[in-house]
């Protein structure tokens, strides 16, 4: 069960509201690198956690709950950045600020409106919504919860790595001290979350034990000739530039990397003809050889 406290997890203040930065912050709310994604991802991993004990369920639950607080901070930041945004012609004419001026056709530079997410004006009443910085709604297919604990941990590290990259880009895009302070907190949390999901893999025995994912499949059933081969697809057989990925022992300690310029092992596939009454053209059916109009 869940509870709330009216206060924010960390202070959110905006000194110079900026409607473009409000748009950019949306990526951290409803983007695929954003907080709704990790929040729901950790929750669904927790709620579906299977195992001999509930240990990793608890770890996931704490961080999932933390992420709700981050969405709240960012949604608050979006609303504050939209406080002075140009919304209507009516108010613009009455506005005192000569620097910003009227909204459309008036004194306030028109491009400020043009650069906004139009739904911040038309659909939300100057508030955040669960979409990204270009206005695409968040889609829950991005909630990765595979039922394989290590696979999920890698998905979580990936989410936090792209999430911290986004937070850094947002930090670099603003000069507002309040916004930079808020982002310095979120960046720190993304640091920890990268660390902690990797630590869960350690807790499970480390990379060697955990790989390949899933480690419960009997590797003798896989076509092991291909399990540690870097497959070259360059037309003329040129090898890939050598690196850790093409030589030396594999990360899981169970093989040795090698390069091979690959040639097809299969045949050209042949499907059966279309069946009668299947909605194909009659020329696709067995009895009707295709006439080559040139012949």
| Cα distance between residue 154 and residue 197, in whole Å | 8
Report which DSSP code applies to 226: G
Contacts of 18 (CB under 8 A, 6+ apart): 81, 174, 176
58 is in an annotated binding site: yes
CB of 247 to a copy of itself, least distance (A): 7
Residue closer to a copy of itself, measured from CB, 98 or 137: 137
72 is in an annotated binding site: no
CB of 289 to a copy of itself, least distance (A): 5
CB of 70 to a copy of itself, least distance (A): 10
Residue closer to a copy of itself, measured from CB, 18 or 38: 18
Distances (CA, A) of 182 to 128, 155, 214, 253, 263: 17, 25, 38, 42, 54
Residue closer to a copy of itself, measured from CB, 98 or 267: 267
260 is in an annotated binding site: no
CB of 37 to a copy of itself, least distance (A): 10
Q: Residue 73 corresponds to which tokens in the numbers above?
A: 């901070």
139 is in an annotated binding site: no
160 is in an annotated binding site: yes
| Cα distance between residue 288 and residue 295, in whole Å | 16
Instruction: Using CB atoms within 10 Å of the CB of residue 14, give its burial: 0 to 12 exposed, 13 to 18 middle, 19+ buried.
Output: buried
Residue closer to a copy of itself, measured from CB, 98 or 247: 247
Known binding positions for Mn(2+)? 35, 67, 70, 160, 193
Known binding positions for Ca(2+)? 58
């Amino acid at each position: 069960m869940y509870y709330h406290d009216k206060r924010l997890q960390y202070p959110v203040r905006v000194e110079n509201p900026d409607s473009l930065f409000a748009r950019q912050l949306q990526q951290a709310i409803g983007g695929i690198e954003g907080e709704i994604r990790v929040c729901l991802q950790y929750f669904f991993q927790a709620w579906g956690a299977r195992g001999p004990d509930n240990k990793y369920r608890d770890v996931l639950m704490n961080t999932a709950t933390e992420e709700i607080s981050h969405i709240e901070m960012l949604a608050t930041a979006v609303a504050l950045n939209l406080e002075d945004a140009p919304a209507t012609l009516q108010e613009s004419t009455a506005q005192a600020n000569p620097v910003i001026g009227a909204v459309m056709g008036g004194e306030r530079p028109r491009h400020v409106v043009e650069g906004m997410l139009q739904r911040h004006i038309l659909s939300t009443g100057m508030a955040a919504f669960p979409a990204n910085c270009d206005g695409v709604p968040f889609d829950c297919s991005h909630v990765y919860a595979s039922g394989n604990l290590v696979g999920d941990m890698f998905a979580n590290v990936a989410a936090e790595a792209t999430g911290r990259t986004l937070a850094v880009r947002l930090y670099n895009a603003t000069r507002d001290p309040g916004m930079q302070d808020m982002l310095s907190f979120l960046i720190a949390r993304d640091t920890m979350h990268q660390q902690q999901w990797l630590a869960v893999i350690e807790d499970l025995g480390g990379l060697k034990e955990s790989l390949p994912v899933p480690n419960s499949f009997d590797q003798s059933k896989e076509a092991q000739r291909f399990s540690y081969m870097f497959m070259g697809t360059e037309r003329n057989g040129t090898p890939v530039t050598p690196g850790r990925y093409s030589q030396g022992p594999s990360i899981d300690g169970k093989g040795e990397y090698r390069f091979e310029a690959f040639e097809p092992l299969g045949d050209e596939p042949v499907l059966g003809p279309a069946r009668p009454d299947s909605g194909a053209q009659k020329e696709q059916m067995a009895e009707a050889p295709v006439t080559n109009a040139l012949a």
